[in-house]
A and B are shown apart, each in its own frame.
Chain A
Amino acid sequence: DAMVIQNPRYQVTQFGKPVTLSCSQTLNHNVMYWYQQKSSQAPKLLFHYYDKDFNNEADTPDNFQSRRPNTSFCFLDIRSPGLGDAAMYLCATSHRENTEAFFGQGTRLTVV
């Protein structure tokens, strides 16, 4: 059974057109992460939440924002996607510190 669900699996958006990626979890985990992964690279952390406490990485572009309206859902908003934002976006959750992170299947974003 899917525990971390990302929608959509594939997203095509136009250059400069706002896009939202979603993540939901059935695990009731405290921590949620958003990662960007480009081809042949490691996942790069964009944001993470511990409950509602939001942590933004210093090098995450201002173009990227996130919302976590409740424990189960988390959203990644890209306000004005550029060609360089094309990537796989991975959501992950963990119960708390020092526990396994579970990844969703990812959303592959294409910018045209």
Chain B
Amino acid sequence: GENVEQHPSTLSVQEGDSAVIKCTYSDSASNYFPWYKQELGKRPQLIIDIRSNVGEKKDQRIAVTLNKTAKHFSLHITETQPEDSAVYFCAAIGNSGGSNYKLTFGKGTLLTVNP
């Protein structure tokens, strides 16, 4: 089945700096890669996603890049703000055999943006 590795586990940046979180996946058949933001005690919320036919996607201060050959994808947040502080999870959906439709999460990155 799919295995998603995420780094770093914690990340502390100054307000206005950029933050980058990286993930790798194991199933070459995976073709959908969402990123979720989870604030303490709340549900995960989708912030951006990318499909395997696209190399990069941007939404305001957030961007995601995908390298299918290397099986890794990254989240980039520019001009960070204190309200960006949360746990961020990458995920992948496998599309082969018993993994159809199975959303697998990385272990998460605790991002702290210091004012």
Jot down 30 A-B pairs with beta carbons below 8 A, ordered by A.
Answer: A31-B101, A33-B103, A41-B108, A42-B89, A42-B106, A43-B89, A45-B102, A45-B104, A45-B105, A48-B102, A48-B103, A50-B101, A55-B102, A90-B43, A92-B103, A94-B103, A97-B32, A97-B95, A97-B100, A98-B31, A98-B32, A98-B51, A98-B95, A99-B32, A100-B34, A100-B49, A101-B46, A103-B43, A105-B42, A105-B43
Instruction: Please classify how large the interface on chain A is, using the bins under 10, 10 to 19, 20 to 34, 35 or more.
Output: 20 to 34
B16 within 8 A of A: no
Q: A90-B43, A90-B44, A98-B95 are in contact. List 16 more A-B contacts (CB 8 A).
A: A33-B103, A42-B106, A42-B107, A43-B89, A45-B102, A45-B104, A45-B105, A55-B98, A92-B103, A94-B103, A97-B100, A100-B46, A101-B46, A102-B46, A104-B43, A106-B43
* Assembly CA distance A99 to B32 (angstroms): 8
Note all chain B residues with C-beta closer than 8 A to A92: 103
B77 within 8 A of A: no
Contact surface of A with B, Cβ cutoff 8 Å = 31, 33, 41-45, 48, 50, 55, 90, 92, 94, 96-106
Note all chain A residues with C-beta closer than 8 A to B104: 45
For the complex formed, measure the closest distance between the CB of A103 and the CB atoms of chain B, giving whole angstroms.
4
Note all chain A residues with C-beta closer than 8 A to B75: none
Note all chain A residues with C-beta closer than 8 A to B45: 103
Note all chain A residues with C-beta closer than 8 A to B46: 100-102
Note all chain B residues with C-beta closer than 8 A to A44: 105
Number of B residues with CB within 8 Å of any CB on chain A? 23
In chain B, what residue has the closest Cβ to A97?
B101
For the complex formed, measure the closest distance between the CB of B91 and the CB atoms of chain A, giving whole angstroms.
8
For the complex formed, measure the closest distance between the CB of A18 and the CB atoms of chain B, giving whole angstroms.
25
In chain A, what residue has the closest Cβ to B94?
A97
B66 within 8 A of A: no
* Assembly CA distance A42 to B91 (angstroms): 10
Q: Contacts A97-B93, A98-B32; is A42 near B108 (CB within 8 Å)?
A: yes
